[in-house]
Chain A
Amino acid sequence: QVQLVQSGAEVKKPGASVKVSCKASGYTFTSYGISWVRQAPGQGLEWMGWISAYNGNTNYAQKLQGRVTMTTDTSTSTAYMELRSLRSDDTAVYYCARGSLGCSGGSCYSIFDPWGQGTLVTVSS
């Protein structure tokens, strides 16, 4: 079955960097994209960015531009999200999701499915 398995929880100090991994299985990795979404404690969902696993093209949320880098390793079907210069308000659960974006047979679609289990990143001094 299609599955995304993320790396474990992290505790970081302000100013540090974190790199979260997302290993995909059960489908052809390069046929889809990966989106990253985060959720601060008790808050809603915030889209962070998208990477095409086919060609490595990325789109990042404007507020994170310059601090976030998304990459993929097609040899291991793994996506990575690195966030730098961490602040306390970066404390959140970080999710990866398989992304489908395109048009086929005259209809277009945008789908995030399935999602990884989430990785808690805590930023604290």
Chain B
Amino acid sequence: EIVLTQSPGTLSLSPGERATLSCRASQSVSSSYLAWYQQKPGQAPRLLIYGASSRATGIPDRFSGSGSGTDFTLTISRLEPEDFAVYYCQQYGSSSWTFGQGTKVEIK
């Protein structure tokens, strides 16, 4: 099973700042099958990025994804108040999916 490790665990930033979230895989992952989700308290997760770098419908362009192989990054160019949430990366391989443990982006 591929293990995804996200860092940092918590990111404390102010609105307007840039957020850089990392997702590292225990073995190489197909970029096609790497996704990012946002989850706010009491809500279901929401798809942000799929295929490592494609934004889902309705996702603002301040969200971008990049990476390949074992290292992937989610970048939020300028944090808006509604972006403070937990972010999960996810991969598909060998007929199963795994999630990273999440990165919480909190207001500094």
Contacts and interface: CB of A to CB of B under 8 A. Distances in A.
A35 B99 CA distance: 13
A56 to B, nearest CB: 15
Interface string B59-90: 00000000000000000000000000000101
Interface residues of A, number: 26
B45 A61 contact: no
Contacts of A97: 45
A108 B45 contact: no
Contacts of A101: 92
B44 A110 contact: no
**Which 4 A-B pairs rank lowest in CB-CB distance, beginning with the nearest?**
A108-B32, A115-B44, A110-B92, A113-B47
Band of interface residues on B: 20 to 34
Contacts of B37: 45, 112
Interface of A: 35, 37, 44-47, 50, 59, 61-62, 95, 97, 101, 103, 107-118
Contacts of B97: 35, 47, 50, 110
Given A45-B88, A112-B90, A107 B32 contact: yes
